[in-house]
Structure formats: C-alpha cells, structure tokens
C-alpha cells in the first residue's frame, strides 16, 4: 500500500470514528466513507461506490458475502447471506461487541492498516 492510499484509509477511519462519536447508532459503512473521501479528493460525483473493489482491493478482498448483525445489547453477532450486500455489519445502538466499545468497522480499518506495510 502506498502512502497516499494509507492516508485515505486513515481519513476514512477518522470520518467513521467522528460520526460514531456524534451518534453511536449511525451506520456509516466503510464503502460509503471511501466514496466520500474519493469525492473530496476528486471532482464530486466522479468516485462512485462501484469503484471501491477496483481501487481498494485490500478492503474488498475481505468480503466473504456475509452480513454480521449485532442486535441491541448483544455481545454475540450472527451472520446471514443477503441477496444484495450493502453493509457487512448492522450494529444496534446499544451493542456491546466482543471488541468492546470499538466498532467492527474501526477494527477492520485497523486490520487493513496494520497488515499493509
């Protein structure tokens, strides 16, 4: 991963973290945040969510087609395979995941950043 892409992932992490501080129940997906950052860097509307797998394969390759759901007050997620995958995690407003207070999305970004030199 080059420095520019690393900075993009770090900005995505910050955007998601900032939104979670404002509203812990907000479902701001990594794909959506990548699209938002792409639109900040390039002309608005030119970077689409469909570009994410090609431009960010280290993220897209982690997709196994499953959605993980944390219901309210649950510590254990369950998974299912949707027809149309939009988010990898659906997190209830009072979830307490096995990651503690850390959002699964933040954990995934930390994983990508730690594994990519």
Nearest to 70 by CA among 53, 88, 45: 88
Rounded to two decimals, what is the model's pTM? Answer: 0.74
Quick one: pLDDT at residue 50?
80
Nearest to 16 by CA among 31, 1, 38: 31
Q: Count CB neighbours of 85 within 10 A.
A: 13
Contact 37, 18 (CB under 8 A): no
Quick one: pLDDT at residue 94?
53
Q: Count CB neighbours of 107 within 10 A.
A: 15
pLDDT in tens, 9-28: 999 999 988 988 887 767 77
Domain ranges of the chain: 3-115
Of the CA atoms within 13 Å of residue 80, those in its CB half-sphere come to 7
pLDDT at 101 over 60: no
Rounded mean pLDDT, 37-54: 80
48 is written with which tokens? 């689409």
CA quadruple 7, 12, 18, 21: dihedral positive or negative? negative
pLDDT in tens, 48-87: 778 788 888 888 888 777 766 666 555 666 666 656 555 5
């Amino acid at each position: 991963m080059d420095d520019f892409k690393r900075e993009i992932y770090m900005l995505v992490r910050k955007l998601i973290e900032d939104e979670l501080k404002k509203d812990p129940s907000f479902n701001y997906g990594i794909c959506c945040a990548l699209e938002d950052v792409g639109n900040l860097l390039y002309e608005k509307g030119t970077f689409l969510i469909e570009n994410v797998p090609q431009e960010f394969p280290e993220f897209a390759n982690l997709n196994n087609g499953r959605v993980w759901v944390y219901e309210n007050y649950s510590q254990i997620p369950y998974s299912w395979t949707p027809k149309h995958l939009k988010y990898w995690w659906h997190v209830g407003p009072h979830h307490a995941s096995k990651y503690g207070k850390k959002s699964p999305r933040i954990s995934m970004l930390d994983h990508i950043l730690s594994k990519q030199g």
